Amino acid sequence: MAMKTVVAALLCSMFAAGVANAAMVTNKDGESAILVIVEGESRIEVVVDSGATEMICPSGCFVTAPSGDHIGLQGDETIEIVNGSVVVK
């Protein structure tokens, strides 16, 4: 019984702690943007619709913006896409 409580408590705390830790990308442009994200071993394309907000790379990554600029992210930033270019707040 005690075990169960511990597990439940841990579970809750983990979820609470885990959610905060990721970069938020918001697309301010009129059209959806494709970001190429290099995270871990894989290179994945993430579509951010116009006005949408996505959570990306919780543990640091590199992002290639539609403008062609490469930037490094630590994983706790808030980012906006303006005119195809990435702006870190």
Partner 1 sequence: MHSAAKLTVLSIAISFVVLTLAGGGTATAQQAAQPQHAAPATPAAAQPPQPSPEGQPAQPAPAARGEADNAPADASPLLQQAEDQLDQADQELKRLADRVGAAADDDTLLAELKVQVDELSKQIISASVATRSRLDEIKARLAELGDPPGEGQPPEAAIVTEERKRLLAERGAINALTGRAENLSVEARKLANGITATRRALFSNTLLKRTEVSVAMLSEAITTTADESRALWRSVSSWLTFAWNYKRIPFLTAIFLSLCGAMIFLVGGYRLFSPFILQHEEQDEPTYFRQLSLAFWSTLIPTMALIAFAASSYFFLSSFNVLRPDIAPIIAVTLGMGVAVFFVTRLASAVLSPARSSWRLVRVSDRGARMLMVPIFAMVLVNGLDYLLGSISDSLGSPVLLTVAKSFLASIIIGLILMAMAWIRPTLRQDEPFDAPGRPWPRVISVSLLLLGAGLIAIALAGYVGLARFIATQIIVTGAILVTMYIGILTGRSVSKQGAFAETVGGRYLERRFKLEQVGLDQIGLVAGLGIYALVALFFIPLILLQWGFQIADIESWVYRFVTEIRIGTITISLVGLLAGVLFFAIGFVLTRWVQRWIDGNVMARSRVDAGVRNSIRTGIGYIGVGLAGLIGLSAAGIDLSSLALVAGALSLGVGFGLQNIVSNFVSGLILLVERPFKVGDWIVSGTTEGFVRRISVRATEIETFQHQSIMMPNSLLINASVGNWTHRNKLGRSEISVTLSYASDPRRVIDVLHEIAAAHPMVLKNPAPNVGFTAFGDERMTFELRIYVADVLTAGNVRNDIRVSIYERFRDEEIGAPFPVKVEDTTPEEATPSDIEIPAAEEEKAEIQPEESETRRRSFGTRSSRR
Residues of this chain that interact with partner 1 (CB under 8 A) are: 3, 6-7, 10-11, 14-15, 17-19, 22, 32, 34, 36, 38, 40-47, 54-56, 58, 60-62, 64, 66-74, 84-85, 87-88
Closest distance between partner 1 and the C-beta of residue 19, in Å? 8
Closest distance between partner 1 and the C-beta of residue 53, in Å? 13
Q: Do 61 and 74 contact (CB within 8 A), yes or no?
A: no
Closest distance between partner 1 and the C-beta of residue 15, in Å? 6
- How far apart CA 1 and CA 55 sit, in angstroms, is 36
45-67 b/e with 16+ CB inside 10 Å = b?
ebebeeeeebebbeeebebbbbe
